[in-house]
Amino acid sequence: MSFARPYGRKIPGYLLLSVLSVVFGVVNYALLGPLLTVLFDNQEAAAAVAKPDFAPTVDFVTEWFRWLLSSVIRDGGVVRGLLLVCGAIVGACLLANVCRYLSQRIIVGVETRLMQNIRGALFSKILSLPVGWFTARRKGDVLSSISNDVAEVQGSVAGSFHVFLREPLLVIGFLAMLIYMSPQLTLVSLVALPVSAFIVTRITRKLRSGSVETQRLMGRILSHFEEAISGSRIIKAFGARRYAVHSFDEVNRKHRETLRQVRNRQELASPLSEFLGITIAAGVLFYGGWLNYHGSLGMTWQQFIVYIMFYWKALEPAKTIAKQYALVQKGLVSAERIFAILDEPAGIPDGTENLTEFREAVTFDHVTFSYDGEPVLRDVCLTIPKGKMIAVVGPSGAGKSTMADLLPRFYDVEEGAIRIDGKDIRSLSLESLNSLMGIVTQETFLFNDTVYGNIAFGQEGVSREAVEAAARVANADGFIRALPQGYDTNIGDRGAKLSGGQRQRIAIARAVLKNPPILILDEATSALDTESERLVQDALSRLMESRTSLVIAHRLSTIRHADEIYVVQDGRIVEHGNHEDLVAKNGLYSHLCNLQDFT
């Protein structure tokens, strides 16, 4: 409802059209009485009736139409009277459906705009969540919320607005006519209806718990699909197709069983409400017959038939409301999953200060950080002067990549501070902080777009010449021009149509085009073959010229000429100096060099 509130100004128009639709619908069925009279009792239809004085009441409308009908029959015959009644029925039906269509156009516009805003808010929220939020969740669960849950909300909760706004008007309209025609008969149904509503509500209430399990299992199903697509090479290489299919079939079977139970209970709501309605109608018919037998019904047989028609028309929207209520109970589970994401704290608070220029140095000032209570960095101190290349090396799990993640604030430090030109990066706006940095990682992520689109990603108003110049610096222009459509070639999901070295050079070209003063290279060549490494390393060397660089490296040959090398072990800096000094110390760095047969 909070998403629908901005469109509340459209509701009065919708309600007005809905009321008109209900009024014309009531008139449509009220005309059945005169029609039956003309068909089966011509003399009564033609009996002279005095023209009534105007009054804003149902009696006036009824008596006025009787007067008009009798006048037409006396002047033009029964056939003309039939034409009048049938024309009035067709006209009332046309007006009722035109009003209904126009009201639906209003509500459809509100529903579609509302769902657009929810999807937009969900996408914006996902982009603002910290990196750690995604590592703690299944990707399938997140994708399920984005696709299935949003579709479920659109089909149930948002789709129910017109039901809960319009159908009660229909019930009220037809119920008012029932009370007007026979308060005694209507009282019987009013006593019995709450009982049937209570029974239907009891059944549909259990839909929510089943829907929670259904959506959870759907998240696991999507995870299996995502893993089958991303890990297709591994599955085939290890001959694990049967294992993967068995794992998927087990989850798929559980989802089917749970969904079957939920759908069975959901589908029970409509026939049960119809059965209870017919049972109540049978009671009304019996009571009406009993009153007629004792001469106290107070209605002609034509009026009694119209009364029964009104009663059936009152049951239809009541049944629709019961069915939609069951859908809403199921859809609210999806809504809760969506809003669990939307209500998630942003995690990384944005600073207020803007820093447009990098002048002096980046400083790690006694930085301590932990993942889920496990210390990763302990009292780390280092300085990256402007224009210098600083390398960080060490065994796997020592905390090197964490240092690279802390600088652009993918995570926030727990103790100490990271400063740029003496300013704590937590005081800087994320936009200004990220504008100072370019990142090239080992696992390069490219988008399912053209080469041009990937290099120019995030940059506005970039010329083709600037993109091509960046590609030349990254040693990428040659292989790009050899592609089928050159820079306009689509490179597939995650750049699957390119080799590892080609993907890495496009990522470097992207960083070159951004032209950041601070560059972070996180093991950018560790997954490449020798030839690709040479090409990428040459591109990186050009990229790092006159830039401040933090280089995380496993291959020590790539950082031999770094201005300063920091050696990290168990989250602490244990050595630092240039390559020759560290080799001469015969410490951990020298040991790592020997393991790589590098001196």
Per-residue pLDDT of the chain (599 residues; tens, 9 = 90+): 777 777 778 878 888 888 888 788 777 767 666 666 665 565 655 565 667 776 666 666 667 777 777 777 777 777 777 787 788 888 888 998 898 889 888 888 888 788 888 888 888 888 777 777 777 677 777 777 777 778 778 777 766 777 777 778 777 877 887 787 778 777 776 766 666 666 666 666 666 666 667 777 877 787 777 777 767 766 766 677 787 888 888 888 888 888 888 778 777 766 776 777 677 777 777 777 777 777 776 777 677 777 777 777 777 777 677 777 777 777 787 788 888 888 887 667 888 888 888 888 999 999 999 887 788 899 999 999 988 888 898 888 888 888 888 888 888 888 999 999 989 999 988 888 888 888 887 777 788 888 888 888 877 788 888 888 888 888 888 889 999 899 899 988 778 788 878 888 888 888 888 888 888 888 766 555 666 667 767 777 777 777 788 888 877 777 888 889 999 998 899 988 888 888 888 888 888 888 776 54
437-441 and 518-522 strand pairing: parallel
Tell me the C-alpha distance between 544 and 522, whole Å: 13
Give the model's pLDDT for residue 416: 92
In order, the DSSP letters of 380-394 are EEEEEETT-EEEEE-
User: 431: which residues sit within 8 A by CB, 6+ positions away?
Assistant: none
Residue 340's SS3 state is helix
Tell me the C-alpha distance between 372 and 157, whole Å: 37
Quote the pTM value.
0.66
Helices and strands, counts by H and E, the chain = 23, 10
Give the model's pLDDT for residue 301: 67
User: In this structure, what is the dihedral angle of CA atoms 73, 76, 77, 80, given to the nearest 10 degrees?
Assistant: -80
Tell me the C-alpha distance between 595 and 589, whole Å: 10
Domains 5-342 and 446-515 share a fold: no
Bridge partner list, 363: 383, 419
Give the model's pLDDT for residue 40: 57
CATH match of 446-515 with 3.40.47.10: no
DSSP code at position 54: P
User: In this structure, what is the dihedral angle of CA atoms 427, 429, 430, 436, given to the nearest 10 degrees?
Assistant: -90
Domain ranges for the chain, please list them.
5-342, 359-436+518-533+547-599, 446-515
Give the model's pLDDT for residue 599: 46
Q: Which of 366, 392, 357 is nearest to 563 (CA)?
A: 392
Give the model's pLDDT for residue 419: 92
Average pLDDT in the chain = 79
SS3 content of the chain, % helix, strand, coil (to 5): 65, 10, 25
502-560: pLDDT as tens digits: 888 888 888 888 888 888 888 766 555 666 667 767 777 777 777 788 888 877 777 88
Tell me the C-alpha distance between 154 and 11, whole Å: 18
- Per the CB < 8 A criterion, the answer to whether 118 and 338 are in contact is yes
* CA atoms in the 13 A half-sphere facing the CB of 406: 27
Tell me the C-alpha distance between 208 and 188, whole Å: 33
User: 464: which residues sit within 8 A by CB, 6+ positions away?
Assistant: 452, 487
Sheet holding 548-552, edge to edge: 437-441, 518-522, 548-552, 389-393, 564-569, 572-577
Give the model's pLDDT for residue 38: 60
- What is the maximal distance between C-alpha atoms in the chain? 123
The CATH number given to 359-436+518-533+547-599 is: 3.40.50.300
Give the model's pLDDT for residue 363: 92
Give the model's pLDDT for residue 209: 63
Q: Among 3.30.70.3400, 3.40.50.10260, 1.20.1560.10, 1.10.460.10, what is the CATH number of 5-342?
A: 1.20.1560.10
